[in-house]
Structure 1
Amino acid sequence: LIALLPVDLAGIGEEQNEHMGSDGEQEHHLTLAEAAAARFGAVCTVLLTPAGEMRRPHPGLLPAELRHEDGLLTKPAVRAAALALLRPEPRHTVWDLGAGSGSVALEAACLAHEGRVVAVERTPSRALDIQENRRRFGAASVDVCLGTVPQCLPRLPDPHRIFIGGGLSGDGAHNLLEQVCRRLLPGGRLVVSCILLDTLARCRAFFEGLGWPAEVMQIQSAQSRPLGQDIFLAAANPVFLLAVDKPEQEKDED
């Protein structure tokens, strides 16, 4: 018995062949209900086919497509720049730490489509939002982890790429970065999103201490809004993206 399963079983049909290649070959085109009520020979090939289009995430997800908490999601322009800096490859394992609505994780899954993406979120309601968004887009390669960083990290697979969307403004930022960088695979890449200048300075100082050169990009975007009979451009808060590469081989300590 060979079964090819679609992502969504709703509204699918079934094609079944008995004794393929023999004189007694029979072909049936049935719904699941019809197949359940029928009887077939011992040698069959079953193909399950979806009736509608397959659901999948795509780049440029709109806020209206996602369930999110009070607009707490990475803006499309920042998301695009962050993924461009992160450069995930098809078979990579990607961590999205402080995932919020999971928008970065979902779009990363488009690029790491043969790998795994782990969306880590400490707030239960937001983790449920990620689960719902994962379901909406049929993103089977996205795993949702409810937990606090770095406490939840030991149970996660080692990553090739890490995106940190927040949580670096407190006193525990140094320990968090230390734990995350230890788990990042050699040759891996990490991108941090910073809004506060103090957070950017802390991250830069940390990576300078490791001897990892940091690349900093500022994203300043504006979105059109109606004003009278015309439009104006409403500026969003600037966001700093800091990207670093972990060396393929760590330097020996003196």
Structure 2
Amino acid sequence: MRIARFSTDDGMAFGVVEEDTVAAIAAHPFGELTFTGQRFPLADVRLLAPILPSKVIAIGKNYAAHAAEMGGEAPAEPMLFAKPSTAVIGPGEAIMYPQKLSERVDYEGELAVVIGRMCREVPASRAADVVLGYTCANDVTARDLQARDGQWTRAKGFDTFCPLGPWIETEADPADLAISTTVNGEVRQDSSTSHLLHDVPALVEYVSQVMTLLPGDVILTGTPEGVGPLDIGDEVTVTIDGVGSLTNRVIARD
């Protein structure tokens, strides 16, 4: 099932995408779904970020090849950092390049895990019980600021630096999903979630040992090798097999 958050002339709603239509649901997508009876052609709605999380917890260097390209070894345990909820944007929205502050902004295509209910200290064997589904993410990073600061908050926390979408796929198996990133149609990243050093169940267990996860919270699972710079005017697309494609264009930040 594909759960989308969308807007029409009448406002915002959640719905289930069924081929070329969206069937609206009442309230939120957590728990049993109640359909309102309204249906909209998919072409006539605007897809928004599928969720507005209370927090986004990301994992650094979770693919060995990416750790190597960054000039280091993969950490023995998951490396956690946070992106603010204000960084989240949806499909088709613009990534704003902060050219007054940074000269190097990179794409990082990732599989995102969307939490479905409040939980903490979840064993890996029960991780699937607390996951609503999966979506595409782009962990946009001001690489020069990351190197300069020695920590990652500013580099990864700019407004618009966390595109999510196009929807939440509830039936995907995260163990082996092809993931790719293109810039202006050119493939820059091409890998699989089977290469994750710490898989989704392990990440849910690890993160939930540290903090309570709330419905809608997002875990970014890490990016494969092939990260690189974006320029103003570029169009970047993250595609995950069985989940969907997330496209955003880069514009100058005023």
- TM-score band, normalised by the shorter chain? under 0.3
Higher helix residue share: 1
Name which one, 1 or 2, has greater alpha-carbon Rg.
1
Q: RCO greater where, 1 or 2, for CA within 8 Å and sep 6 or more? A: 2
Q: TM-score, normalised by structure 2?
A: 0.21
Higher strand residue share: 2
